[in-house]
Chains A and B, each alone.
Chain A
Amino acid sequence: MASVNTRGTGKAEAALLAEARAGKYEAFEELVNRYERKIYRLALNLTGNPEDAEDVLQETFLKAFEHLPEFREDSRFYTWIVRIAINEGLMKLRRRRASKEVAAEDATGDDGEVLPREFSDWRPNPEQIYARKELQEILQNAARALPVTFRTVFILRDIEGLSTEATAEALGLSSGAVKARLFRARLRLREELSQVFKRG
């Protein structure tokens, strides 16, 4: 939705990719510079923890580097690395769950009706009321309260600005499932954040 449009730089990007594949490190580094912030934000929201987010960030670009020869030029580089990042992040979450650090939260069978319970308006401009770090924690905690499948759809569609179709492809879902989960994810995040931001 509010993501930066990177399509305008498509031509330069194709050139960078070609140079990177031919072994020019600076070209690959330039691609990393372009997307590292977005991948880190994605990883933070997906894993909810800075150490895991850093691991996901590194693994994503190391894998992208290793697999550069397999990248198909007819897809977008950004969509490709987002897929890698999502897979790395999900693997982290599974490992955490296996070690019981994360509660079993991944209930996907959440098909009941979504009924908003909180109707209080918010205090205006939370981004000005809270320190950045505090706000980051509030948002991360709310994201973490979502089932992983909802969280990934929200991250890809609303935060990263991928299309419904690209999100469906990245997650192996139908477009209808992406739409339904996005709707639920938004409403549930809103409920969570209302607990913090509502007028006293």
Chain B
Amino acid sequence: MVNCKDCLKDLSEYLEGCLDDELRRELQAHLNGCHHCKVIFDTTRKTVELYCDGRVFPLPDNVRLRLHSALRRRWEKKRA
């Protein structure tokens, strides 16, 4: 039987899909019966998803333009 402590220990690998089938099934069974662990798993997964969401951290146009003009200047200086 998996308890809450074991469950937490395997959280990272579970989220990455790196657990073997048997362990994953045991963990899944624990999650179905344990609200606390279920919340921790779901909200941790959501945490990672939010940070990976490209729409949340867009590159502003003016920042991009300044980058490209700085690079262009450096390149021209080097070529001169």
Contact = CB atoms under 8 A, between A and B. Distances in A.
A23 B51 contact: no
Given A187-B44, A190-B47, A136 B74 contact: no
B22 interface: no
Nearest to B10: A183
A98 interface: no
Contacts of B64: 36
B43 A37 contact: no
Given A190-B44, A193-B47, A183 B12 contact: yes
Contacts of B54: 37, 41
The A interface is mostly helix, strand or loop, or mixed, namely helix
A119 B37 CA distance: 8
Contacts of A15: none
B25 interface: no
A190 B39 CA distance: 11
A57 B67 contact: yes
20 contacts: A25-B72, A32-B67, A32-B68, A36-B59, A37-B58, A37-B59, A40-B63, A41-B54, A44-B57, A54-B66, A54-B67, A62-B74, A119-B35, A126-B46, A126-B50, A135-B56, A154-B51, A186-B47, A190-B40, A190-B43
Interface of B: 8, 11-12, 15-16, 35-36, 39-40, 42-44, 46-59, 63-64, 66-68, 70-72, 74-75, 79
